[in-house]
Each structure stands twice: as structure tokens, then as C-alpha cells.
A and B are shown apart, each in its own frame.
Chain A
Amino acid sequence: MTIFLRAGGQLRAMLKPDIDHYTRKVEIDSEQTIGEILTAISLDPAYVALVYVDGKMKDLSFKPSEGQTITLQPPVSGG
């Protein structure tokens, strides 16, 4: 199934967006967690400070559903 990953700031280069400046389309298996998906696309999950889905904070064990957009936030550079 298809999901969309969005990232800016320091994560953008690692994400390699292909849809627009911040978004990458990814085909996944239905039972994959975010952590597994990121590892599969060579984006080290250690650099993801926040997984944000439909306005809520999730963690790397979250399993997305079809068509969902997952926003990945890098850590703030000190705050």
C-alpha cells in the first residue's frame, strides 16, 4: 500500500523527497511499522524526534494505513 512521508529541516536530505519539496511516496507492506519503513529507505530512525500523524504524536512502532501522510520531525536544535 501507499503512504506519504514528509520531512523538512535536517531530515529532508535523508528522506529524498520525490513528490514535492518535502514529500516522498513509499510503497509498504500492510504490517510495517514506521521504524521498519524508515530503516528500509535508509533513513536512520534515531534522527526522528517526532512522528506526527493526523495531528497526534506517534512513536516508531506506529503502523500506518493506506494513503496516510506521516510527518517526521527532527529534534529542535536546542530549545
Chain B
Amino acid sequence: MANGLAGTTLRINLNTGEIKRYPTDEKLMREWFGGRGVIAKILYDEVPRDADPFGPENLFIMSAGVMSGCFIPSGAKIEFGSVSPLTNGHGDSNMGGHLGPALKFAGYDMVIMSGISPKPIYLFIDDDKVELRDASQYWGMGSLECEPKMKKDLGEDFEIATIGPAGENGIRFSCITHDFGRQAGRTGQGAVMGSKKLKAIAVRGTGGIKVHDLQKLTEYVTAIIKRTQTHPNMAPWQKYGTAFFIDWSNKNAVIPVRNFQTTYYENIEGISGEALVEKCLITHKACFGCWMNCGKYTKAVIPGKQAVYLEGPEYETGSLCGSNLGMTDINQVAYLNWLMDNVGMDTMSGGGVVAFAMECFQRGLITTEDLEGHTLNWGSVEDAEHFIDMVVHRRGIGEYFSGGSKRAAEKIGRGSEKFAMQVKGQEISGYDGRYAPGMLLSYMTCDIGAHHNRSWTITVDMAEGRDKIEGRAKVVVYLQHIRPLFDCWCICRLFWGELDIEPEEIVEALNHITGWNIDAAEAFKTSEKIWNLVRCHYLERNKANGRTFDYPPARSWEDKIPTGPSAGKGLSKEQIEAMLDEYYACRGWDNNGNPSREVLHDLKLDFAADNIEKLGLLGKPLPNGIPTVRGERYKPKAF
């Protein structure tokens, strides 16, 4: 194949150990774009709607997409997907590093795993040798300890991805770790791996990837390199990575502080990007084929503990495990980052869950008796570490929190549901939405539970007016179409999004690689199709109107921001309802949040329309036909 694909797809039955190879379905890849898109289609088609995410019928899929490994800037990603144990809907999460390219160099585009292995195993791929090997010697190890051990055992040139004890023990927000610090963090993909007794994936590939037009691609990439080398954003990115805008987030009062109780942090200097670089930085670390080098490999030193080595903290971890937990020193945040990476816990949900628990402790809803005699105070690394250990091993009250803050709140009750900061079961990202309505709407409507990756609108909120809610929906919809495309093609949004590269230029690169000759309009339409399919899948599994699940926690409208530059600000419930109304209208869904047949037909998803209709969840006919704005390329006015 001269289209950026490696050529072979693997299907593995973990019950029996059977490994099947077959030619990658190029038509499927073309129609669903690989990565997140093809994963969405396969999960929709093959996982029964009542399948337990931890059961044998759930699939665990890894897809390297068409652009990964193809000498394209930041072409390094690999996408994982399964029905999420955290949200009970389609779940996908990706990571950078080198695993995606390695899989393709070995000759494989996708690996689809079903069943449950009778004993701990790891997937071993060495070019055309594919085996399920005994992992009993690695089971129980932390991710950051397991990876070097496996490299020593197998060869330093193997790319390794592992889960830690959190994934092994079914902590629903477990992650997958690779390359000493890259994670596929969200939606609990590590927990699904653990449920299948799949400890790790080890890949070595020595083959090549053929593309449609290597000469044009090489010229294109060389030109992009030269153009972006002098871009003003490049040098600061290379120095600080995503941590640089911790300060900005605080100044504009969107940073979460002590479980989103407020949005301005008095101790920001201690956990800022500058603090990271000055106190902890060892080296700048890149993913395969990316010269932005935004990864920051660091060392954290806490008194009384051994120094630890990690990648990060990135912005999300820096905020959600920093100000959100009341930490005051970057070493503390880095240490917690390392801890969660090693046990294999998503630092975003992990930060959210620990913060929720800390607020429960603050309010006396959990006590030292619940915590094995320990406290759980803001700003205490020791307390956080002990609590995380209880959660990872599901001891005592740790069992409540092992399912995320939503499930914990259901058990704890007494009003705690209000401040379990999640949507659809997944904890929200490191930005408070009470005075950034587009951001709140982004969380509410994100397909995989609250996550900023699909849509981030804070500068739009600032430009359009933070007190105004009208007009946010079309921006959110536009972003929800363009941003997931990176997760389909397995390239990194940060490079392409931060350096003035237009969507048409990205599509040009795609065409040099694949020869598919698509344009930006088709790209957006396909992304919209995937979005709607994921929505239908969610409705079918959860059997209720979509609107039921699209609300943020009650803190979002009951608690005005108490302190800082945004003191007194917040949204009302009516405003939240109005934003949802506008969003659904924009999408061509009815006011229950259910896709209409008109839109699904337009997207060639009639089969999905039939399915949700059987459940009584098909959106009512649209009174004014299909809205045109949903596909509109919305360009917000310059801030």
C-alpha cells in the first residue's frame, strides 16, 4: 500500500490466544479516517449495548492512523479505544511518544483485542512475530518501573506501553503509560487493559511506510520545518511546554483551586512554568518526528523521599494536581505527577478525584477514621499519597473513589454530588467554566465526558464577552469537528494548532501521504459523522435522552466564584439550559439532545437512526430543516 498505511490489521482473541492477520481495510480507513474514527465505527458495530466494559465482549483497540510515522510533523500518535468503564459510552484516548510509528514500522495499522486472557500477558510484536507472552513477572509493577525492566529484557529498541496497579485493579480512570511519561489518560483505557489481563504492549518495527508521494511530502515537510523554526511561538514552547500558561490561567481566573471552589490561586508562583524549568527540568523531550520538543523531562525532590524522574507536569496536571489540591511547590506537583504515572492513574481524573476527596474531608463528609487514621488536607503530599494508595488498592473508602468522583459522590451523598466536578462520569479539565460559558458548554457536550481536548474556548469567551452566552454553540460545534480530526489521523494538535498552520495545509499533507484527494469540507463532514455516531452509541448504551447526561455539576450554577478577579461571577441554571438549547439546535438535534433523522441521514448514519428510534430516542423532526451552521467554519473574531 502506498497510502501511509502499514497494510495489516490484527485481531486477537485473548480468551483463546488466537491471533488473526488480515489486510487493513483501506475503504474503512478512508471512510472513517482511522484512529478515533475507525475505532468509533468498530465499537459501534461490534460491542453489544449491554456489554460490561470490564467484560470479555468489550473490545480494546489500538490504531496508529494514517499519518503516524509518516515523516509528518508530530506524526507520532497512537489512539486507544474501548467502551469506557468511566462513562459507559465510547471512549478513546491517545498518546504521543514513539509507539504509533513503531506499530506501523512493524507492519500493523490496528490491533483489535477481544475477550479476557486467563492469565497476565503482554502483547509482543517484533516485525512479523506477534505473540501473547506471560506477564506474571511484570504484574504488580508500576508503569515507570515496568518499562525499563521490559526494555532491559527485550531490547532497548522496543517501544513499551504499560498499565500500573491502578489498571490491574480496575480503577476506572486508569491510564496507559509509554516512553517514560506519555499517557493515554482519559476514559479509563488502562482499566480496560487491566480487565483483559493485558499488562503491556511491546513493539519493535524495522520496516518502512510507503506514502502516495514521498517527494512532495518531503518538500512539504522541509518547508514547514523552515517556516516554523522562526515562528514566535516555537522558542517559548520548546522551553516551557504547556506549563507556560499556568500563570495566565490564574490571572484570568479560570484555574481550578481546591476542587474548583474558586479560580484564583494565591500561591501560583510556586507551581508556575518558570518554577518547573528552574527547579525540575532535565531535558526537553520530543515525540517521534516533532521538533516542538514540548515534553519536559524532570526530576522531583521531596524532603524525606527519593528523587523521582518523570515527564511533566504539563498544564493539566500542573493545575489539577497543583492549585486544585492546594500544592505550593512545583516539586510537590511533579512528585504527585510521578506517583500517578507510576500507579497508572490519569493525572486529570486523579487530580479531580483527590480534590473531591479533599473537599469531602474539609466538609467532614469523610474523616480520619475513613482514611486509616490519616488526614486528607489541602497541600499535603503525604495525605494525597496515602489516599491514592487506598484508591489504587481499593481499601476501605478507596473503593468508593476507584470509580471516579461521580460514583464516589453517589456513595457519600449528603450533597457531595454538587461538587463532584465531572460530566458523564469523567472529571473536568483544568479550567473553571463558571465565567467561561463556552468552556462549560464544551465540557457538557463533550462526547467522552468532560474533556477540553474536543473544544477549548476560553479566549473566545474573552473576546465575545464572558457574561454573554449567546453564540457559543456554533464555536463549540466547529471546534468539536476540527479538533478530533487530529485524533483520527494520529497527529498532535499542539504542533498544528499553535503555529499558524491552516486546516487546508493539514489536508494537503494528508493527501501527499494517502493520495485520497480529500478537501477540508469533507474532513469536517467526516468528523461530524463520527461525532454523531458516538452520540448514538452513548444513547443506546445509556437508554435515556441525551440531555439527561449533558449537565455539569451543580456547583456550576449554585456556587458563584467567591474570590479573585472573577469574584461574584457564575452562570444560572437557566443560562445553562439556554446554552444546551442553542447547541442542540446548532447540531440538528432535538431539544432532548437526541440526533434527528434528517441530520443522521445527511451523514449516512441511517442505521444509527434506526437503532435509536427503536429505543424511542430518535430526535423529533426538525421544524426548519437541517441547520446550516453546524458545518460552518467559524472563525472567532481575533480575540
Whether a CB of chain B sits under 8 angstroms from the CB of A44 is: yes
Check A8–B459 contact: CB distance below 8 A.
Answer: no
How far apart are the CA atoms of A48 and B248 in the complex, in Å? 8
B456 sits at the interface (CB 8 A): yes
B494 within 8 A of A: yes
B244 at the A/B interface (Cβ < 8 Å)? yes
Of listed A14, A59, A75, A79, residue having the most chain B CB within 10 A: A79
Known: A79-B242, A79-B494. A47 touches B459 (CB 8 A): yes
| Nearest CB of A to B352, in Å | 16
CB-defined interface of A36-63 with B at 8 Å, one 1/0 digit per residue? 0000000010111110100101010000
Interface string of B194-231 (1 = CB under 8 A from A): 00000000000000000000000000000000000011
Shortest Cβ distance from B368 into chain A, in angstroms? 37
A79 and B316 contact, CB distance less than 8 A: yes
- Tell me if B453 is interfacial: C-beta within 8 Å of chain A: yes
Tell me if A7 counts as interface (CB < 8 A to partner B).
yes
Residues in B243-278 with C-beta less than 8 Å from chain A: 244-245, 247-249, 251-252, 273-274
Looking at B68-76, B85-93, B495-503, the stretch in contact with chain A turns out to be B495-503
Q: A9-B499, A14-B638, A44-B639 in contact; A75/B459 too (CB < 8 A)? A: yes
Whether B462 contacts A47 by the Cβ 8 Å rule is: yes
- Could you tell me the distance between the alpha carbons of A55 and B242 in the complex, rounded to whole angstroms? 16
Q: Among B244, B252, B456, B638, which residue has its beta carbon within 8 angstroms of that of A73? A: B244
Contacts A8-B233, A71-B236 hold; do A57 and B499 have CB atoms under 8 A apart? Answer: no
B499 touches A75 (CB 8 A): no
CB-based contact B497/A10 at 8 Å: no
State whether the Cβ of B282 lies closer than 8 Å to any Cβ in chain A. no
Contact A55 B273 (CB under 8 A): no
Contact B248 A9 (CB under 8 A): no
Give Cα A74–Cα B396 distance, bound, in whole angstroms: 45
Give the distance in Å from the alpha carbon of A12 to the alpha carbon of B241 in the complex: 20
Complex CA gap A11/B231 in Å reads 12
How near does chain A come to B455, taking the closest CB pair, in angstroms? 8
Q: Given A74-B459, A75-B459, A77-B498 in contact, is the A50-B240 Cβ separation under 8 Å? A: yes
- Does B314 lie at the interface of the complex (its beta carbon under 8 Å from any beta carbon of A)? yes
| Chain B residues whose C-beta falls within 8 Å of the C-beta of A22 in the assembled complex | 230-232
Is the Cβ of A50 less than 8 Å from the Cβ of B639?
no
Nearest B residue to A7 by beta-carbon distance? B232
Q: Are A10 and B459 in contact (CB under 8 A)?
A: yes
Tell yes or no: B578 within 8 A of A by CB: no
Interface residue? B458 (CB, 8 A): yes
A13 within 8 A of B: yes
| Separation of A52 and B237 alpha carbons in the complex (Å) | 10
B residues in contact with A73, CB < 8 Å: 232-233, 236-237, 244-245
Docked-complex contact A50 and B314, CB < 8 angstroms: no
Closest-by-CB residue of A relative to B231 is: A8
**Chain A positions 6 through 32: 1 when the CB is less than 8 Å from some CB of chain B, otherwise 0:** 111111111000000010000000000
Residues of A within 8 A of B456 (CB): 77-78
Q: Is B315 an interface position by the 8 A CB rule?
A: yes
Decide yes or no whether B28 CB sits under 8 A from chain A: no
Give chain A residues whose Cβ lies under 8 Å from the Cβ of B493: 77
B521 interface contact, C-beta 8 A: no
CB-defined contacts of A11 to chain B, threshold 8 Å: 639
Do the beta carbons of A49 and B639 come within 8 Å of each other?
no
Q: Give B395-452 interface residues, CB cut-off 8 Å to A.
A: 429, 431, 452
B239 part of interface (Cβ distance < 8 Å): yes
- Please tell me if the beta carbons of A52 and B639 are within 8 angstroms of each other in the complex: no
A55 and B639 in contact, given A10-B459, A77-B498, A78-B456 (Cβ under 8 angstroms): no
Q: Is B308 part of the binding interface, using a Cβ–Cβ cutoff of 8 Å?
A: no
Query: In whole angstroms, what is the CA distance A71 to B236 when docked?
Result: 8
Interface bracket on B:
35 or more
B567 at the interface (CB under 8 A from A): no
Interface readout for B135-163 with A: 1 if CB under 8 Å, 0 if not? 00000000000000000000000000000
- A34 in contact (CB, < 8 A): no
User: Which chain B positions have C-beta within 8 A of A59?
Assistant: 247
Is B235 in the interface zone, CB < 8 Å from A? yes
| Pairwise interchain contact A46-B274, C-beta atoms closer than 8 A | no
Cβ-defined contact, B232 with A76, below 8 A: no
The chain A residue with its CB closest to the CB of B638 is A13
Complex CA–CA separation, A73 to B236 (angstroms): 8
Report whether B235 and A52 are in contact in the complex, using a CB–CB cutoff of 8 Å. yes
Find the B residue at minimum CB distance from A58.
Answer: B274
Q: Most chain-A Cβ atoms within 10 A of its Cβ — which of B233, B274, B316, B456? A: B233
User: Which of chain A's residues has its CB closest to B230's CB?
Assistant: A22
From A14, A59, A76, residue with most partner B Cβ within 10 Å: A76
**Bound Cα distance A79, B296 (Å):** 13
| Contact digits for B456-472, partner A, Cβ 8 Å, 1 yes 0 no | 10110010000000000
**Least Cβ–Cβ distance between A64 and chain B, in angstroms:** 15
Neighbouring B residues of A6 by C-beta, 8 Å: 232
With A75-B249, A78-B453: A9-B639 Cβ-Cβ less than 8 Å: no
Asked whether A49 lies within 8 Å of B232 as measured between CB atoms, the reply is no
Point out the residues of chain B lying under 8 angstroms from A78, CB to CB. Answer: 429, 431, 452-453, 456
Residues of A within 8 A of B232 (CB): 6-9, 22, 71-73
**A13 and B497 alpha carbons, distance in the complex (Å):** 16
A13 contact set on B, CB distance < 8 A: 638
A13 vs B463: C-alpha distance when bound (angstroms) = 13
Looking at the assembled complex, report how far the CB atom of B459 sits from the nearest CB atom of chain A, in whole angstroms.
6
Nearest CB on A from B394, distance (A):
32
Are A79 and B315 in touch, CB under 8 angstroms?
A: yes
Are B245 and A76 in contact, CB atoms less than 8 angstroms apart? yes
Taking Cβ atoms with an 8 Å cutoff, the residues of A that contact B are 6-14, 22, 44, 46-50, 52, 55, 57, 59, 71-79
Q: Can you list 15 pairs linking A and B with CB atoms under 8 Å apart?
A: A9-B498, A10-B459, A14-B639, A47-B459, A50-B240, A50-B244, A52-B235, A55-B239, A57-B274, A73-B232, A74-B233, A76-B315, A76-B494, A77-B459, A79-B245
The 4 A-B residue pairs with the shortest CB-CB distance in the complex, in nearest-first order = A78-B456, A79-B242, A49-B248, A13-B638
Besides A78-B429, A79-B241, 18 other A-B contacts (C-beta < 8 A): A7-B232, A10-B459, A10-B639, A22-B231, A49-B245, A50-B248, A50-B273, A57-B273, A71-B235, A73-B233, A74-B459, A75-B249, A75-B459, A76-B244, A76-B494, A77-B497, A78-B453, A79-B314
